Amino acid sequence: MSKGRIPKSVSINLDQDGNELRRGPWTLEEDNLLIQHITSHGEGQWNSLAKSAGLKRTGKSCRLRWLNYLKPDIKRGNLAPHEQLLILELHSRWGNRWSKIAQHMPGRTDNEIKNYWRTRVQKQARQLKVDSNSKKFLEAVRLYWMPRLLEKIEQDSSPSSSAATSSPSSSSITTSETPKPAAAPPPPQINRPVLPNSGEEIQEISGFLTPAGLEPCGKIFCGKPFEDGGCYHVDIPGYDHVQELGCEGMSMSECHAADDDWFGSCFWNSDELWQFRKLEEVDV
């Protein structure tokens, strides 16, 4: 939705010194002022920066605009499957520590990740009628969502196997391979489903789901190892977003929209919903 957004109305207040303070959407002129000033003077000291740049904005507002929107290395557009997977993993580790999660996702801001969680992940939780922070939901994510993301990543990384693709809504990894949690909710086998395309197993490395073929360390997707020494490598060699998705000629947003299609409005298929309900029954 970032495309062609018409600016909201701007309100003008007065600060305690009686100076004008603008609020609301930033104009192109304001953006340029901020960029120019930071380019020549650097960032930090946001309140004085706002004044010396001639911006009628709070320092906070300038900082936010710069960090979340104007900074040159910011990636725009939808999150790739491997980024989604990383968010799920890191959130399971750290909870709502958005800035900490963002540190491991170059080009992505805490705000963007937070928005993704609220709009996409919490939506899935609502569909299951559970709290997104509940154990049940996290289990369901681990059981169904993450393997599917891995599957998607695998598909994207190996164009030759595209014939064996499965549609988003069709149950791919579920019925035969996924361990059905008939009795008690069992974490053990959860981490070793088999990817249907390759027969490749998913391994768990220091609590992280990762395809067995990927190295546990060495090359780190996020560019930054975890503090505890672990790392999670989902850098897919040769993955070219535009090429793999057949997005040539599309705008960035169109391309990402195509990418997102497999996800659909409801992630869970009926089989998975059924299994989830069984989990709930066992639990009560």
Partner DNA sequence: AATTCACTCAACCGCGCTTTG
Partner DNA sequence: ACAAAGCGCGGTTGAGTGAAT
Query: CA–CA separation, 42 vs 48, rounded Å?
Result: 12
227 contacts DNA (rule: CB under 7 A): no
With CB under 7 A as the contact rule, the residue among 111, 165, 171, 198 that binds DNA is 111
| Minimum CB distance to DNA, residue 163 (Å) | 29
* Listed ranges 109-117, 167-175, 201-209, 221-229: which one lies at the site for DNA (CB under 7 A): 109-117
Residue type, 180: K
Nearer to DNA, 24 or 187 (CB): 24
Cβ–Cβ < 8 Å for 144, 178: yes
Residue type, 184: A
Collapsed DSSP state (helix, strand, coil) of residue 47: helix
| Phi, psi dihedral angles at 205 (to 5 degrees) | -120, 120
Query: CA–CA separation, 169 vs 264, rounded Å?
Result: 8
264 contacts DNA (rule: CB under 7 A): no
Beta-carbon contacts of residue 267 (< 8 Å; ≥ 6 apart):
124, 127, 144, 145, 148
28 contacts DNA (rule: CB under 7 A): no
Site for DNA in 39-58 (CB under 7 A): 44-48
* Listed ranges 63-71, 142-150, 176-184, 198-206: which one lies at the site for DNA (CB under 7 A): 63-71
Q: Which residues here bind DNA, judged by CB under 7 A?
A: 1-9, 22-26, 44-48, 59-61, 63-65, 68-69, 78, 96-100, 110-112, 114-116, 118-120, 123, 265
